[in-house]
Homo-oligomer: A and B are copies of this chain.
Amino acid sequence: MEKFEINILGCGSALPTTRHFPSSQVINFRDKLFMIDCGEGSQLQFRKSKIKFSRLNHIFISHLHGDHCFGLIGLISTFSLLGRTATLHIYAHKDLKMILQPQLDYFCKGMTYEVEFHDINTNSSDVIYEDRSLSVSTIPLKHRIPTCGFLFQEKPALRHIKREMIDRYSIPIAYINCIKNGYDFITEDGETIPNDALTSDPEPTRKYAYCSDTKYNPSIIDQIRGCNLLFHEATFAESDKKRAEETFHTTTKQAASIANDANVKRLIIGHFSARYEQEELLLDEAKTIFEETILAKENLKINL
């Protein structure tokens, strides 16, 4: 299987604790790196993770609360000190550019590379990044300010050709790619060999959804259905449900019921409020609804 790996750099919420860094993750998809959110200290965590710094070209910011973006200026500035040349693409609410550009102009004079800002519309599900093997779409969320999650979706791979069939029907090399793409083969005698006989199914495609910050929002279920892994915030325990509502956050059981209703394979909860010293209790609550739940923690790496 090609690499599709989630690295948790930070999974705390706004108030700093000695247990957590604020939100940030790095997705390693076939050795291309994608960052989601960039709270203060993300570059330090990134360095510690030993993931190759220079492979990061795309950063997705869910919303403009400080614990999701205060680490950007430090990271961008470090890249310039390191002499980076590749353009860095940042996908975020349009206000980010307005806030960050004056800082770049002041602190990063003589930048060695370009930062390109891509405005995202947090109200609709749009494909905001796409290459040959991956697409990234926004997931509209409901928080106190415009916010979206991100769906990382692997594109279908080519079908596997059966080696022995190439010999049996003397299939010319020029046809192989068409057959991998699903076409039948017609022999010199005019016989049609159906694609099914020539190929087997490729690996199933994988999906990762990141949903933070948001209040309980079942309208995302259709979009994230069947994900291999769902990261969902669970800022609060069930006993603090009222506080979750007031602050537009989710409780453990609400996150788990989203996972359950969307029939995802695994759920990882994070963005824990500083008030909980025993996060195992949060896990236990979520598991009463959705057994395949794990707790996010710093430096955790999950392979899909």
A124 at the interface (CB under 8 A from B): no
- Binding stretch for chain B, among A11-19, A28-36, A186-194, A220-228: A11-19
12 sampled A-B residue pairs with Cβ under 8 A: A16-B44, A16-B78, A18-B48, A40-B44, A41-B44, A64-B107, A65-B107, A66-B73, A66-B77, A99-B103, A99-B106, A102-B102
CA distance A21 to B74 in the complex (A): 12
Main secondary structure of the interface of A (DSSP, over half): helix
A248 at the interface (CB under 8 A from B): no
- Contact check, B107 vs A14: say whether CB atoms are below 8 A apart: no
Given contacts A18-B44, A66-B77, could you give 14 more A-B pairs where the C-beta distance is less than 8 Å? Answer: A15-B82, A16-B43, A16-B44, A16-B78, A17-B47, A40-B40, A40-B41, A40-B43, A40-B74, A41-B44, A64-B107, A99-B102, A99-B106, A102-B102
Which residues from chain A sit less than 8 Å from chain B, CB to CB?
14-18, 21, 40-41, 43-44, 47-48, 64-66, 70-71, 73-74, 77-78, 81-82, 95, 99, 102-103, 106-107
Q: Which residues of B contact A82 (CB under 8 A)?
A: 15
Rounded to whole Å, the gap between the CB of A194 and the closest CB of chain B is 56
CB < 8 Å neighbour of A78 from B14, B77, B81, B103: B14
CB < 8 Å neighbour of A66 from B18, B66, B107: B107
Rounded to whole Å, the gap between the CB of A243 and the closest CB of chain B is 14
Looking at A40, A71, A95, A106, the one whose CB has the most chain B CB atoms below 10 A away is: A40
A22 and chain B: residue at smallest CB distance: B74
- Contact check, A78 vs B15: say whether CB atoms are below 8 A apart: yes
